[in-house]
Amino acid sequence: MAGLQYDDVPSAMLDLVPEFRGEYEDWLELLEEPLNHILLGSLVSFAEKQWQAAQTPGSPARDVLWRVSQFMEQLAGSEDEKVQNLLHVSYLEGLINSGADDVRAGLVALMLPKTRRLFERVRDAASLLQDRRSNPNAFEPDVFGGDGNADLDPESDTDYNF
């Protein structure tokens, strides 16, 4: 399997973004083991804070954000399904659901190509889900055979009404 592996995520993150070590150690103290989903979720708020700091000319936070983008691109290029899930659920969805729009737009603008493509897919899926939640009557019965019932087992007498 090519690219970064799930178990190597914490060390790879700290290699590229050593400034995150304080938050990493805080989580490690609380949990006694690095939980990758929690770490990447925390990286969202870390990146948002770095974005705010980077608005000051000459701030070292600009370099930190560049390295966060490089790390995300490593995750995006991994063939490990657990790494892909980690990136989608904990970072990209976290970014979609967090903070101010201008900060999110700034962080998206810094994304490298693979990460941006994945972000756009996750964002589009989240938008579609939100549309369906806000308009539940948009359900099209034809999806389940024309009457709105999903007959999951044609041999069964059970009729699943949704």
- 1: pLDDT strictly greater than 50: yes
Angle, vertex CA 133, rays to CA 127 and CA 137, nearest 5: 120
pLDDT tens figures, 113-134: 999 999 999 888 888 877 777 7
pLDDT given at position 136: 67
Distance CA 79, CA 146 (A): 39
Lowest-pLDDT choice from 19-28, 91-100, 151-160: 151-160
Q: What are phi and psi of 17, to 5 degrees?
A: -130, 70
Distance CA 76, CA 113 (A): 9
Q: Which residue has the higher pLDDT, 70 or 141?
A: 70
Contact 42, 27 (CB under 8 A): yes
**How many angstroms separate the Cα of 160 from the Cα of each of 76, 133, 137, 148, 149?**
39, 21, 18, 9, 6
Supply 18's token pair.
Answer: 């050593």
Supply 103's token pair.
Answer: 């900060």
How do the domains of the chain map onto residue ranges? 6-134
Rounded mean pLDDT, 85-90: 93
Helices (H) and strands (E) in the chain, counts: 8, 2
Of the candidates 100, 35, 21, 2, the residue with the CA atom closest to the CA atom of residue 64: 21
pLDDT given at position 133: 74
- 143: pLDDT strictly greater than 60: no
Distance CA 31, CA 21 (A): 15
